[in-house]
Amino acid sequence: MTVENEIEIMGQRLNEKINNMFGRSLHIREVDAGSCNACEVEVTALSNPIYDMERFGVHIVASPRHADMLLVTGPVTRNMELALLKTYNATPSPKLVAAMGSCACNGGIFGDTYASGGGVDKFIPVDVYIPGCPPRPQAVIFGLMVAMDKFEQKIRKTEVKA
């Protein structure tokens, strides 16, 4: 058996283990890192009877110490930079990070300025990006499913040559 095969098998096992850990339920800590509150409104809508996130076993918790996943919104502002890092360090491993909204993905409309960090991935490693301004609640549910490996991502890099 070659080393590459072994690494592949190890990767599969690790994947199964992670799926077992996060497969049944997911506890999310929502971090507002300088967002305009539009994304927060959509996250609140996730727990209403129409979208009802709890039917997948997804809960919003009040402390990062109870959480498996951080749902970060906003282009990390200078004031929220330290708070985000502290929250990340307080979350027990293994942990997932989802960047929700265009601001969290790439800075969005705020861009990369002296007051705005321009994206969560410049500060902490991000597992899933959910673009949208703000993303629909369905898009957030889809993003969480992608993060939990229940669904495959639909979008791929497209290149057209003329």
Q: Which is nearer to other proteins, 66 or 150 (CB)?
A: 150
Count residues near other proteins (CB under 8 A): 42
Alpha-carbon distance of 148 to 96, in angstroms, equals 9
x-marked contacts with other proteins along 33-52 as a string, rule CB under 8 A: ----------------xxxx
Contact assessment for residue 116 and residue 76, using Cβ atoms and an 8 Å cutoff: yes
Q: Is 51 exposed, middle or buried (0-12, 13-18, 19+ CB in 10 A)?
A: middle
Which listed range, 3-11, 18-26, 83-91, 133-141, lies at the site for other proteins (CB under 8 A)? 133-141
136 part of the interface to other proteins, by CB under 8 A: yes
Alpha-carbon distance of 67 to 29, in angstroms, equals 6
Q: Which is nearer to other proteins, 20 or 161 (CB)?
A: 161
Alpha-carbon distance of 28 to 53, in angstroms, equals 11
Q: Which is nearer to other proteins, 4 or 159 (CB)?
A: 159
128 part of the interface to other proteins, by CB under 8 A: yes
Cis status of the peptide bond prior to 135, with omega within 30 of 0: no
1 part of the interface to other proteins, by CB under 8 A: no
Q: Which is nearer to other proteins, 77 or 102 (CB)?
A: 102
Binding-site member from 34, 74, 107, 117 for other proteins (CB under 8 A): 107
155 part of the interface to other proteins, by CB under 8 A: yes
Pick left, alpha or beta for residue 161 (phi over 0 → left; psi -120 to 50 → alpha; otherwise beta).
beta
Contact assessment for residue 77 and residue 111, using Cβ atoms and an 8 Å cutoff: no
SS3 assignment, position 1: coil
Which residues in 56-95 contact other proteins (CB under 8 A)?
A: none
Where along the sequence are the contacts to other proteins (CB under 8 A)?
A: 49-52, 55, 102-103, 105-109, 111, 121, 127-133, 135-136, 138-139, 141-143, 145-147, 151, 153-162
